[in-house]
Structure 1
């Protein structure tokens, strides 16, 4: 029996897209700890593209934008596996098909769709799975560390992720009326994932944030998975309704001497004649 005591436990992981996915790192870490992982992907097409990665594993299809599919997922997983010990929500979507726009130009339909998929889906999933969660199950959602930072190239997804974090706190309170199910988020800094590659200007943000870390090394996805698996385990029983920030110090290192020096160089050159 390992420190995390995950042997024989069952978890649903939502959001695996490829080998770089945070969800995939969490799932394989859970399996390494002896847990059974049930997978949910968003479409039949995604099921096909992940077929090699998820070979011989239980995979269900659920588009969380459709509440009927969420209900069916809960019924099917509950029927096939019974009680779950937790679930992972690693799902986010933003429509950048028209390119990046200033926040005030965000379209209502885009904002509402992103909110429905990235934040409110957690509420619907939790509600649908409530009858199938053990009394002390743990629900973990993947958020971001920079909820109070106005990252221009992340656009309207920052307030959407803020809604996700707030929802976690309200779910923790709501479920506490008749269960001991816990709800927490992992809030990582910038990561190298396929999803992040689609964010305009992300590479520059990634390199900048790496310089702001104390260790001068960006977060890696396995570190995020380790934190999520800890939150899924009973070893984190004292944590509920909280966000666990993982950013290697980035968020409190604004006045790093190296970064300040680099930022002032253009001004210094501009003053030369």
Structure 2
């Protein structure tokens, strides 16, 4: 190539151009779902947004100006069915879906796990985990044969972090469902189901969890680079999983934690703890 030729800088690496994706879970510009949707659009794809309520649709009206925004509260079967019917009537074919939905009710703040009520647990399972199964089933006729479904998990479901309340077992159920969805869908398609298992993020939703900010600051000290995971880093991984570039990956959770899980015994952190105890 001579110096006068234009390099192929605009290659569609993610191969999303001309394809349509459903993105659920945008709340504001800090949302992981929004960051993923931006990458899809920048790659030439079309995004259909689904938000949980008319109020959320109105609050994101400026952010999602000129976008196709639907309302779908996943707690209500009729709304899921209505969304599926709308897309069917319009002949929409989905190359992928982003499930970035989670909810837990902490009316009295974070309490010991054994005090979790039945209502709290079942509601969290319904919204945060079962909704993926329910949406996949309702939309199975809308997915193209090799579509990709990506959900957002957490970097570990085995650490009993008090600042995350009872959500880790809920996310474990979400993660486990990936294998079963992949297997059951394989009877009639090649749809893939994966998760991005994200480390602690600075989002509006996480900021409302009691004790989360302190855990976030601690994570920055444990992470080798001394800088927390960015929402954009999670979104980039999700976009890769949505794309044909990851066609050999399914029923997996890709951990994006900037190495936090390898560095819990960092000498500086251990020293700070032991010094405080000795002092």
TM-score range, shorter chain: over 0.9
SS in 2 for 1:126: helix
Change (3 A) 1:251 1:126: same
1:81-116 CA-to-partner distances (Å, cap 9, x unmatched) read 521100000000001122221111101001000000
Is 1:137 matched up with 2:147?
A: yes
SS in 2 for 1:239: coil
Instruction: Write the distance in 2 (CA, Å) between the matches of 1:35 and 1:93.
Output: 28
User: Does 147-156 or 228-237 show the bigger shift?
Assistant: 147-156
SS in 1 for 2:184: helix
Instruction: Write the distance in 2 (CA, Å) between the matches of 1:214 and 1:263.
Output: 18
Deviation at 1:77, TM superposition (A): 2.2
1:185-232 CA-to-partner distances (Å, cap 9, x unmatched) read 001100000000011111110011111111111000000100000000
Instruction: Show structure 1 runs of 4+ deviating over 4 A.
Output: none
Instruction: Write the distance in 1 (CA, Å) between the matches of 2:90 and 2:121.
Output: 35
Could you tell me whether the CA contact under 8 Å between 2:110 and 2:162 is conserved in 1? no
Instruction: Write the distance in 2 (CA, Å) between the matches of 1:197 and 1:95.
Output: 14
Residue in structure 2 matched with residue 93 of structure 1 by the alignment: 103
User: Does 107-116 or 210-219 show the bigger shift?
Assistant: 210-219
Residue in structure 2 matched with residue 243 of structure 1 by the alignment: 253
Q: How does 1:74-153 map to 2 (within 5 A)?
A: 74-153=84-163
Residue in structure 1 matched with residue 66 of structure 2 by the alignment: 56
TM-score (norm 2): 0.95
Q: How does 1:89-238 map to 2 (within 5 A)?
A: 89-238=99-248
Deviation at 1:177, TM superposition (A): 1.4
User: Does 91-100 or 44-53 show the bigger shift?
Assistant: 91-100
Could you tell me whether the CA contact under 8 Å between 2:220 and 2:228 is conserved in 1? yes
Q: Which runs of 5+ in 1 are unaligned?
A: none
Deviation at 1:259, TM superposition (A): 1.1
Instruction: Write the distance in 1 (CA, Å) between the matches of 2:14 and 2:169.
Output: 33
Deviation at 1:160, TM superposition (A): 0.3
Instruction: Write the distance in 1 (CA, Å) between the matches of 2:88 and 2:259.
Output: 40
SS in 2 for 1:85: strand
Instruction: Write the distance in 1 (CA, Å) between the matches of 2:79 and 2:273.
Output: 49
Pick the aligned partner of 2:272 from 243, 262, 266.
262
Q: Which runs of 5+ in 2 are unaligned?
A: 1-10
